[in-house]
Structure 1
Amino acid sequence: MKQLTLNNSNETIALGKRMAADLRPGDVVVLNGDLGAGKTTFTKGIAKGLGIKEIIKSPTFTIIHEYQDGRIPLYHMDAYRLENGGAEDLGLDEYFDGDGVSVVEWAQFAEDELPDEFLAITFKRTDDENKRILTFDPRGQHFQQMVDQL
């Protein structure tokens, strides 16, 4: 595991953008952390890095937003509303095995659906309202290499 401290939302977006360069079709990135911890901000950075021009919003009510206009598609998922079940009915494996990058917020509510290899990132607030501590937990060689390069 590796930790990074980010000082503001601009650094969070920049890190997502930088990491997007190494993402490839079928990659799954899991984002954990409390409400307002920076998960969607990080996803905005990934979208920028993939060349997506659309505005990125949290898919809390729709569960999945698809963005097709980048280098590869981005599937932004929010499993928060699946706390009481239902993830198995969404066909998430089709996204995870598909042609784009899947970013999953609140993945603990869809844990049984996750592939064997993915990158988990936990966002933690600090006493400074702008700073975040990110903890990276890579599952698989590809993601370990990405984390090693940070």
Structure 2
Amino acid sequence: MKKKTLLFLGAVLLSSFAVNAQEVEIVKDKILLDGKQFLKYEKINISNHSFFNMNDEEILNYRSFDNETPKYVDDDYYALNFINEKTKVESTDFSRIMAFMNSRKSCEKLIKWMLKDKVLNTDGTINPEKLEVFVQKYDEKVTERTMR
């Protein structure tokens, strides 16, 4: 009896991982979710990327800043601008999005993060309620506390 229960719990646990694992891939100007396009992508330059819904409306802009100190990385930060919601999130924690020096992989990690926190819906729309929670959790208001 104990063995069957353990096997059943293990199967349930493994199936929950498979259900939650979503494959995000950027191919040229398309963002694919489990092989199906749900967003459009534009790399403006190495530090500026835009994401569009399928109606060509920009929904998110990612931009990284070196704070005018290119050789000193401890003051670097990034901003996520949610265009239609007029909301900006600034953070110094690159651990959630950085994939070494590969900007495409970094953007894939960013989209996975947005999906995981349910800020981004699988139909390519922003969830305003989840965005509020996201801002509370991650916004460090970097520019507000930086002297120029």
Instruction: Provide the TM-score with structure 1 as the length reference.
Output: 0.29
Instruction: Provide the TM-score with structure 2 as the length reference.
Output: 0.29
Larger radius of gyration between Structure 1 and Structure 2: 2
Higher RCO, Cα 8 Å, sep 6+: 1
